[in-house]
Structure 1
Amino acid sequence: MGKSNAEEHLAKAEKKASATVGWFGSQSSKWEEAGDLFAQAANAFKVEKRWNEAGKAFEREAACRQKANENNDAMNAFKNAANSYKKRNPEAAVSALHQAIKLLIDAGNFRQAADREKEIAGIYAQDGLDVAKARDSFVRAGDWYKQEDANATANQCYQQAAELSAELGDYQRSMELYQTVADWSLTSALTKYSVKEYWLRAALCSMAMGDLVTTQRLLDVFAQKDVTFPSTREAKFAHELMLSCEEADVERFTATVYQYDQVTKLDNWKTGVLLKIKKALEEDEGGLT
């Protein structure tokens, strides 16, 4: 059986990359031509739906672009490699994106680096591939977005990192991140409405840690930052839960959750944290302190 179209392109690219440059040739043009050929091979592999081979060819293109000092094209090639690898090999996709990020940071393009880091976070978060790495990548992307004054996008990353932190059982980090998200949201009339949700989540995290002193402190601080907060359903819900925990009253806790859910449907995140708190209450008849 003969070679496929993609394999023929790849053979030409390999031949060009390994060729010796003559007296009147230049290394730069050699690597540019080899890069073009590897790109052709990669796209042909994509047509054949051979995603791993396509990714490898794009990475070979990127290496050629770097040797030709075409770093912008190398970044794009690494990005294309990652897109191909995503179909079959997420770890290889992450590796290619890290290569792109290195070039972007060297060039001072932190906004694009943040985009790639956010992409890495999404790969790790998908199907729970590596929740801890996903959380760390979301935080890193958020820091870079914030550095570039892309605050709304940074906040989205911090919010996702906060959710994953709780999933990891790191309620302290989750609580801190939700406070960061809330503080920024307070600065805009468009996002201020969502602050009470983030404060509720921060309070729930403190209860999941069994730290009711911190819960009370948080509710006091939030009331100082927004005098309308104590009158909200979210604040009243958090306060009633805190009292239930102080008294180790599982029935009161359950009734409070049920009543809140009748009006405002609990999402999966809150349900998971509330179950964690309830389980601790049931195991500790003396209550949380």
Structure 2
Amino acid sequence: MPSKSPAQILLEKADKRANASTGWLSSSSTKFEEAGDLYQQAANAFKLEKLFREAGDAFSKEAECREKCKETNDAANAWWNAAKAYKRGFPDLAIQALSQTVIHLTQAGRFRQAADREKEIAQIYLQDQNDLRRACESFERAGEWYAQEDATATANACFKDAADLHAELEEYQIAISRYDQVADHSLGSALTKYSVKDYWLKALLCALASQDYVSARRNLSRYGQLDVSFTSTREAKFITALTEALEQGDEEAFTAVVYEYDQVTKLDNWKTAILLKVKRGLQQAPGLT
């Protein structure tokens, strides 16, 4: 029979302590405190053995012991440690553990940290599960909590990520209002002002993807009023040329405009995908042969 690993021995001690009956002299909170410490030691030992699922499970048990002792800060930490272990191959469990962390942090009024964890949830939904809808919801929630805590730049980054996802989900109006919101915040600071033209470009591409050329022209001129230098940018000229090609139903001109822009400013995956949707709309438009 193979001998037990140090982690296994610690886990058994922790289980035994957690399930022991309390005698006259010890309180149940002492019992759970001690069990929690043992679970934590077991979890760290499992991490040394690179057994991340077992480490996550042990941290989760530690968290439950901390909750029974009403040690909410320690419980939040234990859930977060569980999530970090689960991230090594168990995204579903990582999300569950992070969600528990968020509950404790929001109840304690620690919204800045709750936003950090909610953003992690969004990233797991996006990268590991390709669940755009849930990723989008988590980015928006994190953004609102950051905004409450005056972490404006971090809030804007989350809202921008949410806007990108709304556009991918073809919810163009919501995406446009999010880009506008982020751009408005960014206009006020010299540090972030340079990124405004990209937000506006994305918002305008969303208007073209929804085949609302009137709004595209109207927004283009509104952005030019908010920042006079915008009208002469490559981005603004690109949108103007695209809109003209679309209004004329000229697919060749549209393709030429995109090609020319891409030669100077490489189009990223998001812009390439949305331009393909714009082009598909052009091909399907009535009256085009």
2:262 aligns with: 261
CA distance in 2, matches of 1:194, 1:11: 55
Name the counterpart of 1:160. 161
Alignment map for 1:103-252 (pairs within 5 Å): 103-252=104-253
1:46 aligns with 2:47: yes
Residue aligning to 2:30: 29
Secondary structure of 1:228's aligned partner = helix
Aligned length: 287
Q: Do the aligned partners of 1:9 and 1:41 also contact (CA within 8 Å) in 2? A: yes
In 1, the alpha carbon distance for the partners of 2:262 and 2:38 equals 60
Offset, 1:220: 2.1
Maintained 8 Å contact 1:104/1:112? yes
* Kept after mapping to 1: 8 A contact 2:91/2:128: no
CA distance in 2, matches of 1:286, 1:38: 69
Report what 2:66 is aligned to.
65
Q: Within the alignment, does 1:276 sit opposite 2:277 as a pair?
A: yes
Matched position secondary structure for 1:25: coil
Cα pair 2:172 2:206 within 8 Å, conserved: yes
Separation of aligned partners in 2, 1:136 and 1:7: 39
TM-score (normalised: structure 2): 0.96
Whether the 8 Å CA contact 1:248–1:285 is kept in 2: the answer is no
Letter in 1 for 2:51: R
The alpha carbon displacement at 1:20 in A equals: 1.4
- What are the Cα deviations for residues 64-117 of structure 1, in whole angstroms up to 9, with x where unaligned? 111112111111100000011111210110000000100001000000000000
1:46 Cα deviation after fit? 1.1
RMSD across aligned C-alpha pairs, in angstroms? 1.3
Aligned to 1:99: 100
- 1:84: which partner in 2? 85
Taking the aligned partners of 1:79 and 1:190, their CA distance within structure 2 comes to 33
Equivalent residue letter for 1:168: L
User: Gaps (5+ residues) in structure 2?
Assistant: none
Identity value in percent: 57
Q: d(CA) in 1 for partners of 2:109 and 2:103?
A: 10
SS at 1:210 equivalent: coil
1:76 and 1:255 map into 2 onto residues whose CA distance is 55
Compute the displacement of 1:124 (Å): 0.8
1:13 is the counterpart of 2:14: yes
Cα distance in 1 between the residues matched to 2:18 and 2:92: 27
**Contact 2:79–2:97 (CA<8 Å) still a contact in 1?**
yes
**Equivalent position SS for 1:43:** helix
